[in-house]
């Protein structure tokens, strides 16, 4: 039998091309992307894997469960009930107790800058509702006194308080941790979740390179990217949520010593950690503390961070892999 070499090679090439094409179609079929409105923000779930759609479904359910328990603004949540109705012996999940304990630890280590009992002051400003306003100075001072007198009692999973609690500075990060647990079950090849600017990376990219996460300069433009493997990249900044009155911007992160929006040299603080809850609480605390004290707090933990100042200087921890893409910004 005579073998036509040319013909055989062509047949092999065609077969090879068909196999590649099937692969591409197969991978495309396993690609999932969805955007939703949850936790008062837009969240995007993207990833590739056989059961990525199921993972996304479970992540959304987990977020709903977190909100049903921990949202201080949802009038049907357990925390709302504790804050406004029962005040004592409200039974919470282990997750909630974990976040209370972590919040208290960060409060202690930040000298009170991170304080979940600031809810009455946050309410005065109207953040979390539809009618933000600038409160009177004497109202702020009186309410701050209330906050300082807040006692939180935890007995096993029962919580009591004479004040009002708000996990807004830590719960979204924790939702990322829950999402990671779910991704671990379904094992997609990779996933990138964006929970209102909190980025959660899972697995590894098809081309084997690290995930590159952009950091906003506070005006909607990326000034730098950090390269990470599996990580939570969480940013706090006044530009993320604010209202404007008489030409002045009032943002949502409160300085626990003044009761006013935190004002210092910072535009934003980004924290990178295996723990989303920790990164979230630290980024909020550091934004309140400012550059110097914020860095001191960061150095107490095994996390990486990026501090962006108003004069376009970028301060980081040594272990970070950062690339500044906008030449107006300088790495210190």
Residue closest to ligand AMP when measured from CB atoms: 168
Name residues whose C-beta falls within 8 Å of residue 285's C-beta, 6 or more positions apart in sequence. Answer: 106, 110, 113, 114, 169, 294, 297
Taking the C-alpha atoms of residue 223 and residue 324, their distance in angstroms, rounded to an integer, is: 6
Q: CB neighbours of 180 closer than 8 A, spacing ≥ 6?
A: 200, 202, 230, 276
**Which region among 141-149, 168-176, 186-194, 293-301 touches Mg ion (by CB under 5 A)?**
168-176
- Contact string (CB under 5 A) for Mg ion, positions 263-302, x = contact: -----------------x--xx------------------
Q: Return the one option of ligand AMP, Mg ion, none that residue 114 interacts with (CB less than 5 to 8 A, by type).
A: ligand AMP
> Rounded CA gap, 87 and 163, in Å?
8
Cα–Cα distances in angstroms (integers) from residue 248 to residues 139, 244, 252, in the given order:
19, 5, 13
CB of 169 to Mg ion, least distance (A): 4
Length of the chain: 332
Applying CB under 6 A, the residues found at the interface with ligand AMP are: 113-116, 118, 122, 127, 166, 168-169, 236, 240, 252-254, 256, 280, 283-284, 288
What are the Cα distances from residue 180, in Å, to 209, 241, 301? 20, 26, 21
Given the complex with ligand AMP, which of 83 and 236 has the nearer CB atom? Answer: 236
We find the least distance from the C-beta atom of residue 285 to ligand AMP, in angstroms, to be: 7
What's the closest the beta carbon of residue 99 comes to ligand AMP, in angstroms?
A: 12
3-state secondary structure of 78: helix
Say which entry of Mg ion, ligand AMP, none residue 177 contacts (CB below 5 to 8 A, set by partner kind). none
Binding of Mg ion by 103 (CB under 5 A) = no
- Does 235 interact with Mg ion (rule: CB under 5 A)? no
Parallel, antiparallel, or unpaired for β 90-91 and 158-161?
antiparallel
Q: Which of 47, 120, 169, 188 binds Mg ion (CB under 5 A)?
A: 169
- Can you read off the two tokens belonging to residue 120? 């009455």
Q: Which entry of ligand AMP, Mg ion, none binds 164, CB below 5 to 8 A by partner kind?
A: none
User: How far is 154 from 328, CA to CA, in rounded Å?
Assistant: 49
**117/226 with CB nearer ligand AMP:** 117
For ligand AMP, the closer of residues 99 and 322 by Cβ is 99
Find, among 143, 161, 176, the residue nearest to 79 by Cα: 161
Binding site for Mg ion (CB under 5 A): 169, 280, 283-284
């Amino acid at each position: 039998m005579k073998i036509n070499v040319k013909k055989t090679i062509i047949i092999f090439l065609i077969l090879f091309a068909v196999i590649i094409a099937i692969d591409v179609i197969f991978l495309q079929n396993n690609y999932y992307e969805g955007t939703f409105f949850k936790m008062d923000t837009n969240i995007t779930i993207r990833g590739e894997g056989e059961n990525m759609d199921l993972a996304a479904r479970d992540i959304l359910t987990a977020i709903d469960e977190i909100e049903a328990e921990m949202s201080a603004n949802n009038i049907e949540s357990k925390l709302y009930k504790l804050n406004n109705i029962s005040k004592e012996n409200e039974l919470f999940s282990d997750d909630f107790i974990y976040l209370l304990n972590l919040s208290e630890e960060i409060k202690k280590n930040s000298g009170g800058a991170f304080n979940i009992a600031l809810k009455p002051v946050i309410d005065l400003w109207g953040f979390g509702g539809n009618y933000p306003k600038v409160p009177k100075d004497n109202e702020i001072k009186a309410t701050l006194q209330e906050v300082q007198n807040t006692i939180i009692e935890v007995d096993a999973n029962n919580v009591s308080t004479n004040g009002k609690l708000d996990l807004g500075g830590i719960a979204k990060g924790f939702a990322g941790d829950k999402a990671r647990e779910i991704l671990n079950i379904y094992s997609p090849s990779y996933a990138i979740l964006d929970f209102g600017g909190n980025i959660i990376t899972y697995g590894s990219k098809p081309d084997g390179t690290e995930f590159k996460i952009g950091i906003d300069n506070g005006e909607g433009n990326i000034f730098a990217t950090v390269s990470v493997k599996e990580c939570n990249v969480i940013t706090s900044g006044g530009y993320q949520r604010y209202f404007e009155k008489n030409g002045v911007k009032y943002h949502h992160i409160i300085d626990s010593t003044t009761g006013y929006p935190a004002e210092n040299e910072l535009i934003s603080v980004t924290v990178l950690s295996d723990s989303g809850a920790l990164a979230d609480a630290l980024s909020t605390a550091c934004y309140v503390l400012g550059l110097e004290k914020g860095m001191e707090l960061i150095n107490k933990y095994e996390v990486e961070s990026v501090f962006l100042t108003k004069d376009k200087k970028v301060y980081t921890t040594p272990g970070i892999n950062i690339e500044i893409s906008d030449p107006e910004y300088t790495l210190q």
